[in-house]
Amino acid sequence: MNIILLGPPGAGKGTQAAKLEAERGMVQLSTGDMLRAAVKAATPVGLQAKAVMETGGLVSDEIVTGIISERLDQPDVAKGFILDGFPRTEAQAASLDTLLTEKNMKLDHVIELEVDEAILADRVTGRFTCAKCGTGYHDRYKLPVVPDVCDVCGSTEFKRRADDNAETVRARMAEYHAKTAPILPYYEAKGLVARVDGMADIAHVSEAIEAILDKR
């Protein structure tokens, strides 16, 4: 099963993709995570992407499509993949179709996480992750059980994303409305879109997604 998780910054794409990975063995393909890794490693792609990401803009279609194409060639994607943060423009959606045809793969669902925009800035600016294992937390909605100790690996080091400040979040939201939301009709025409209430708590959002995946 291959799916796209679509939704604005803070909608819960990464949270739900990680759950699907843990519970169904699917593979999360997050272009945001891949680009952040490239920035950290100061690769040529990372050097180009850094400034764009810090202002909340979109990295070029060529770069992200190239990254996804390479990732789709790795054997683990045969377990089923979750595209998280890709495609994000009409050009990326068209390129994805070409790639999938070339690689003899297909999409089963495009799941849109519907959220009330007023709460998104709060979700994003309150977010932090374990610096060692990457488990996600939130200042109010999901704190570690033992304060300042990761529930999963016991690390006491946490980090926040450079683009998780109020100003950049506004820019990311604007990009979502201008360039990403318009790709929904493309997938609606293919009969692939299902919508989930992303305002429900994390477990309920997860149940709703599982129900869509299990319907087939």
Question: Which residue numbers are catalytic?
Answer: 13, 88, 127, 161, 172
Taking the complex as a whole, the smallest distance from the CB of residue 215 to ligand AP5 amounts, in Å, to 21
Residues sharing a CB contact under 8 Å with residue 206, sequence separation 6 or more, in sequence order: 16, 19, 23
Using the minimum distance from each CB to ligand AP5, give the nearer residue, 179 or 216.
Answer: 179
14 binds Mg ion (CB under 5 A): yes
Rounded to a whole number of angstroms, the distance between the first and last alpha carbons of the chain is 10
Taking the complex as a whole, the smallest distance from the CB of residue 52 to ligand AP5 amounts, in Å, to 5
- How far is the C-alpha of 28 from the C-alpha of 39, rounded, in Å? 19
8 binds Mg ion (CB under 5 A): no
Using the minimum distance from each CB to ligand AP5, give the nearer residue, 55 or 101.
Answer: 55
Contact residues toward ligand AP5 (CB under 6 A) are 7, 9-15, 31-32, 35, 52-53, 56-59, 64, 85-86, 88, 92, 123-124, 127, 136, 138, 141-142, 163, 172, 198, 201-202, 205
Contact present, 183 and 87 (Cβ < 8 Å): yes
What single-letter amino acid sits at 114?
E
State the binding partner of 45 from Mg ion, ligand AP5, none, CB within 5 to 8 A by kind: none
Q: Which tokens sit at 8? A: 């604005």
Q: Are strands 158-159 and 127-130 parallel, antiparallel or unpaired?
A: antiparallel
